[in-house]
Amino acid sequence: MQPGARNEMNMDVETPGGWRPLDRAEAIAALRARAGEVDALRARAAALRDQGKGRLVTYSRKAFLPVTNLCRDRCAYCTFRRDEGEDGAWTMSPPEIAEWSARARRLGCREALLCLGDQPEAAFPGYRRWLEKQGHKNTIEYVERASRISLEAGLLPHSNPGLMSPEDLALLRPVNVSLGLMLETTSERLRAKGQAHYYAPDKDPARRLAVLEDAGRARIPFTTGLLIGIGETIEERVDTVLAIADVHRRHGHIQEVIVQNFRAKPEIPMATCEEPDTVDLARTVAMTRLVLGPDMNVQVPPNLSPDGIAYLLDSGINDFGGISPLTPDYVNPEAPWPHLGALARACAQAGYELRERLALYPEFLDRPEFLDPSLHERVTREWAILREKEDGGSLPAKESA
């Protein structure tokens, strides 16, 4: 096939060194690729990934700090949230955050992932009183304190506290090397009765997109992504990726895009819903890469697709996200993190090299406006340590929690 020709899915073939993002119709066609077309789609996405990232695949050695699992939203697929007073409800105290952070640092972690429910103070009076006793007006103030504690323990925080106002972003920026909020979907339809986000006011797509915009204006390196298999249509899935591409085109601050697959669990309202299979996930990964281009970091969580690692690598990903030697994945506790040695071997067998990264991707080091000056020296030093370890050619083993 000659450069510039069209293939059977009506998508331009890249010329050497060139790239044009898929438009909406082409992206929809990619997600409708049938058996005979999927491998060609995946190869195209993998070649584009190689153009920007080579054959390196990265991960972050982290501690998952579940600050609180109280949440005012009730997403139909969530097992993380709890109500106040319910068995399993928790809020981490400052001493617990300090203890977990110190232990994580001793285990070689560099990232503190602070994850929590969305605006629990709006729903739970006991939690509001607890915050007041701690000297905080709201949860974001407490996340700022938790981030500072983790920093003091030697970790680099990355917080995912849900919806954030411009003032919230400004408060968290000096104590976080990056921030995150999963867009999940741009589908308003999924907020209707009987759908996944009916009881989740904070999953309003317009409000979540506004956070991405505000983070871009504030020059904050940002993680976002889509959640597939929660009832969205192919068109809605594509529109979610296009919305991320649009905001990144304006601000250049999206450092990674996660393609996360829904997993059914017996205790959720969506327990009987069908999970996306590996081919569906791979199609979505490939489409995401072909929309966002060679330079974007595209991630899948390896613990949610443990048997599809090589297949997904050959579909255009270049990152596995955070993996912890200390804490489980509290959002998907049934899915253990992979052992780093085994993951490295799986990557090598597929022709890739696994390398550790920080919660801030290295491309942002050359863009000082995207990192608070107080954090620059710390981040630069940690990257220098990682480069030195790469030269030594060793990967840390995964300890038991």
The predicted-structure confidence for 103-151, as pLDDT tens digits, reads as follows: 999 999 999 999 999 999 999 999 999 999 999 999 999 999 999 999 9
User: pTM score, two decimals?
Assistant: 0.91
Note the pLDDT of residue 329.
67
Question: What Rg, from alpha-carbon coordinates, does the chain have?
Answer: 20
Is-contact 109 102, C-beta < 8 A?
A: no
Please write the tens of the pLDDT for every residue from 251-298.
999 999 999 999 999 989 999 999 999 999 999 999 999 999 999 999
Q: pLDDT class for 400, splitting at 50, 70, 90?
A: very low
Q: Which residues have a Cβ under 8 Å from the Cβ of 329 and sit 6 or more positions away?
A: 64, 301, 303, 335, 336, 337
For 332-350, write each residue's pLDDT tens digit: 777 677 888 989 999 999 9
- Domains in the chain, CATH or no CATH each: 24-392 (3.20.20.70)
User: How far apart (Å, rounded) are the C-alpha atoms in residues 82 and 303?
Assistant: 23
The residue type at 312: L
Predicted confidence band of residue 15 (pLDDT cuts 50, 70, 90): very low
Contact 165, 181 (CB under 8 A): no
